[in-house]
Amino acid sequence: MRASMSIWAVIAAALALLPFWPGAIDSYAFSFLFFVFIYAILSQAWNLIAGFGGQISLGNHAFFGLGAYATAILWSGNYLWGSLYESHPRIYYFDPVTMAIAGLVAALAAALVGWPLLSKLRGDYFALGTLGFGEIVKVLFVNGGDFTGGAFGIVAPSSTFDTLLPHYWTGLGLTVAVIIAIGLLMRSRYGLALIAVRDDEMAASANGIDTLKVKIAAFAGSAFISGVAGSLYTYYIFHVGPDSVFDLDWMLLPLMMTVVGGTGTLMGPVVGAFVMYAVFDLARIVVPDYHPVVSGLAIILAMLFLPKGLARIGFGLPGLVRRG
Amino acid sequence: MFDFPPPQIFLQLSLNGALGGAMYGVAAVGLSLIFGTMRLIFLAQGAMIILAAYFVRALFQSFGIDPFLSLVIVVPVGLAAGWLIYQGLFRKAAVEEDRNISLLIAVGLMFLAENLMTVIWGGNTAGVVTSYTASGIHILGIRTSFTRTMGFLIALAGTGLVMLFLRKTLVGKAVRAASEDITAASLMGISPHRVNAIAFAVGIALAGAAGVAVATTFPFNPFAGFIFSLKALVALALGGIGSVAGALAGGIILGLIEAYVQFFVGGSWTNAVAYGVFLAVLMFKPEGLFGRPYKKA
């Protein structure tokens, strides 16, 4: 297994070297790949709770938005670095501490709502509950007054932006890190416990697994990853508003990408993110007036003809086979 | 600070809330049928309602057909469309164990419908204005608009017909049996595909009826449907998943809650309260406010 993953390592290395190709940084492909990384991270997050954990979360966009808001609030309010901010005006820009806090805020929210939701609700009811949770978070931020900037949101100092290079490398690095972390996790006893809970919760609990704890941990982990993705997006978009970062698309598109790539597989979400974002972006270029129509059609066609995901085709690539 | 309003205003609020909530209710009845047989959260129901509203508007503007009269066209078209949607889009996915696939097809259908409407009719807010749109009825000092009252009556009639269909006809009994236990139902010779297709046909026909009510009452735009789907889900949970009358009642209760919150707390909080109630009901009374304890799920 480990040796066969080397093809993905080669692809990652090639992507890491891409900026050194003359003209690559200014090319369209560069920003395209940045968005593929964001969606790949979000898809991995959704796959962790839904694909490996079997708990369909329809509220992951809330964690993305929480991460984005946490970054924008810490930055524009200078809550973290105090007087250091004056001497180092770029200190919040791609600051690992800020990004980690963004993830932790989302994870904390997930643990707090996950506890009652996951202990009380099963299956469809959990999905409905998380959908309601996502909408509540959005309304809270619209009504948050000066702290959240209300319906307009918060604008971060965009003067820090000069190149897409840090976005690209951070996105790539985070994608690789998330894949490795989830790969290692799924090989550990915690990953086995998660799959056991997905496949038969009763049997898992009879074998001494604290199923609630496992599910909450997976939910919080999924939220952490989504929150970090939201933080990364803030450094790109700079204006964080309730309608943009709490948009349902931040949950629906990763969900679709994961299903297209193959739920419960390690590399499926990444492949799905790349393929589906390519389809959407191509539609945006070729038929600009109709591209959302094409997106809708693409989802339906993908589900009709590839219900098991690209995993069924597999392309002979490792990491696309569902475990468990 | 908190003055209780005069009973007149309270009555007016309650009436407006109940009439508006009936719209959520009729959308919830459709969701309830589809969820019951297929276990699918049909997120595109709201988009179907708005699509029907545009259809009603087109019939009115191009052919001069009265919106309420167009029910005789919209409902049969809805039945046929629902049947076709199931056979064309969901039939294959219905047998898959992974229900994300059905959910995603519903999402794709929603995207498709929303954006087709934008391409055809533009993204601006539209409405249907007839000679009676502004007319109202006064009873005991409270005022109600004619179109809202008609919308309420359509919701009541639609729900009533669905209940009769489920209780009195053999096909309706098959749908109920399949909702309770699909395995046992198929062992009794009930074809799951047929039952699913019927649920879809009736659900979309109800969306058509709701579309008539929406077209005559509210201004609408292609993207207004999604919030409708969410509200219908809340109504569904309030009334108890699987109960048709409960879904309508849940919609009316949700309408009342929204009207009161809007008046006493403020318009920007209505959604938070609505979803808060939703979460509370899901967690503490998953069988709904007046449902029997629910055994499945």
pLDDT in tens, A107-146: 999 999 999 999 888 877 888 889 889 989 998 999 888 8
The token duo for B217 is: 């009452």
Report CB contact under 8 Å: A132, B226: no
User: Distance between CA A102 and CA A224 in Å, rounded?
Assistant: 8
**Residues 6 or more apart in contact with residue B88 via CB below 8 angstroms:** none
Provide the percentage of residues in chain A whose pLDDT is more than 90.
50
Of the two residues B232 and A324, the one the predictor is more confident about is: B232
Rounded to 10 degrees, what is the CA torsion of B97, B296, B160, B25? -80
Each residue of B7-21: pLDDT tens digit?
778 888 888 889 889
The rounded distance, in Å, linking the Cα atoms of B71 and B153 is 13
Tell me whether residues A124 and B272 touch, CB distance under 8 A: no
Q: Which residues does chain A have within 8 Å of residue B119's beta carbon, measured at their own beta carbons?
A: 289-290, 293
Which of B35, B51, B86, B112 to mutate: most A Cβ within 10 Å?
B112
Which pLDDT does position B4 carry in this prediction? 67
Whether residue A223 is predicted with pLDDT greater than 60 in this model: the reply is yes
Percent share of chain A, pLDDT over 70: 94
Report the distance separating Cα A16 and Cα A323, nearest Å.
29
CB pair distance less than 8 Å for B282 and A127: no
Indicate whether A173 pLDDT > 90: yes
**How many angstroms separate the CA of residue A168 from the nearest CA in chain B?**
30
Cα B248 from Cα B231, distance rounded (Å): 12
Give the pLDDT mean for B209-215. Answer: 91
Q: Has residue B46 got a pLDDT over 70?
A: yes
Report residue B37's pLDDT band, with 50, 70 and 90 as the boundaries.
confident
To test the contact with chain A by mutation, choose from B90, B115, B229, B265 the residue with the greatest count of A C-beta atoms within 10 A, namely B115
Q: Do B100 and A117 touch (CB under 8 A)?
A: no
**Residues of chain A in Cβ contact (below 8 Å) with chain B:** 50, 56, 116-117, 120-125, 127-129, 131-133, 135-136, 139-140, 142-143, 248, 252, 255-256, 259, 263, 289-290, 292-293, 295-300, 303-304, 307-308
- Most confidently predicted of A307-311, B254-258, B279-283: B254-258
Residues in chain B closer than 8 A to A135 (CB atoms): 230, 271-272, 275
Q: Where would I find the H helices in chain A? A: 6-17, 28-46, 60-77, 84-87, 96-120, 123-142, 165-187, 189-199, 201-206, 211-237, 242-245, 249-261, 268-286, 291-305
CB contact under 8 A, B107 and A120: no
| Rg over CA atoms, chain B | 19
Within an 8 Å CB–CB cutoff, is residue B283 touching chain A?
yes
B211-222 average pLDDT score: 88
The span from the first CA to the last CA of chain A, in angstroms, equals 15
- Alpha-carbon distance B182 to nearest alpha carbon in chain A (angstroms): 17
pLDDT at B296: 45
Give alpha helix (H) positions in chain B.
7-38, 45-63, 71-85, 91-94, 100-121, 146-168, 170-180, 182-187, 192-217, 225-239, 244-264, 270-284
Size of chain B in residues = 297
State the nearest Cα–Cα gap between A2 and chain B, in angstroms. 29
Give the tens place of pLDDT for each residue, A25-80. 888 888 899 999 999 999 999 999 999 998 989 999 999 999 999 999 999 988 88
Tokens 């009736």, residue located: B202
Q: Cβ–Cβ contacts within 10 Å for residue B91, how many?
A: 16
CA distance B48 to chain A (A): 14
DSSP type of residue B290:
S
- Mean confidence (pLDDT) of chain B: 86
Sequential DSSP letters for B209-260: HHHHHHHHHS-B-TTTHHHHHHHHHHHHHHH-TT-HHHHHHHHHHHHHHHHH
pLDDT at B297 over 50: no
Residue whose tokens read 């539209």: B126
Cβ distance B271 to A303 less than 8 Å, yes or no, reads no
Interface test with A, best of B282, B284, B287 (most A CBs within 10 A): B282
**What pLDDT does residue B140 have?**
67
- Among residues B16, B8, B93, B54, the alpha carbon closest in space to that of B257 is found at B16
Residue type at position A150: G
pLDDT band at A211 (very low <50, low <70, confident <90, very high): very high
| pLDDT, tens only, A79-109 | 888 888 888 888 888 999 999 999 999 999 9
Which SS3 state, helix, strand or coil, does residue A277 take? helix
CB contact under 8 A, A129 and B283: yes
Question: How far is the CA of B242 from the CAs of A72, B79, B187, B297, in angstroms?
Answer: 43, 20, 21, 12
CA contacts within 13 A on the Cβ side of A136: 19
Measured in whole angstroms, the distance separating CA A160 from the mean position of its chain's CA atoms is: 24
Task: Verify whether the Cβ–Cβ distance B105 to A120 is below 8 Å.
Answer: no
Residue of B101, B107, B111 with shortest CB distance to A292: B111
Q: What is the pTM of this model?
A: 0.88
Q: Which chain B positions have a beta carbon within 8 Å of A257's beta carbon? A: none
Mean pLDDT (whole number) for B271-275: 87
Note the pLDDT of residue B95. Answer: 79
Any CB–CB contact under 8 A between B123 and chain A? no
The answer to whether residue B86 scores a pLDDT higher than 90 is: yes
Q: Which residues of B touch A123 (CB under 8 A)?
A: 297
pLDDT band at A315 (very low <50, low <70, confident <90, very high): low
* Shortest alpha-carbon distance between residue A51 and chain B (Å): 10
> Which position has the higher pLDDT, A311 or B135?
B135
**Predicted complex ipTM:** 0.80
pLDDT for the residue B225: 87
Confidence class for position B38, pLDDT limits 50, 70, 90: confident
A123: left (phi over 0), alpha (psi -120 to 50) or beta: left
Chain A positions touching B262 (Cβ under 8 A) are none
Residue in A127, A136, A289 nearest the CB of B276: A136
Q: Tell me whether residues A139 and B271 touch, CB distance under 8 A.
A: yes
The phi, psi pair for A79, rounded to 5°, reads -85, -10
CA atoms within 13 A on the CB side of B102: 24
List of domains in chain B: 7-121+134-284 (1.10.3470)
**pLDDT band at B211; cut points 50, 70, 90:** very high
In the predicted structure, residue A188 carries a pLDDT above the cut 60: yes
Choose among B242, B266, B240, B270: nearest CA to B255. Answer: B270
Q: Alpha-carbon dihedral of residues A129, A131, A133, A135, nearest 10 degrees?
A: -150
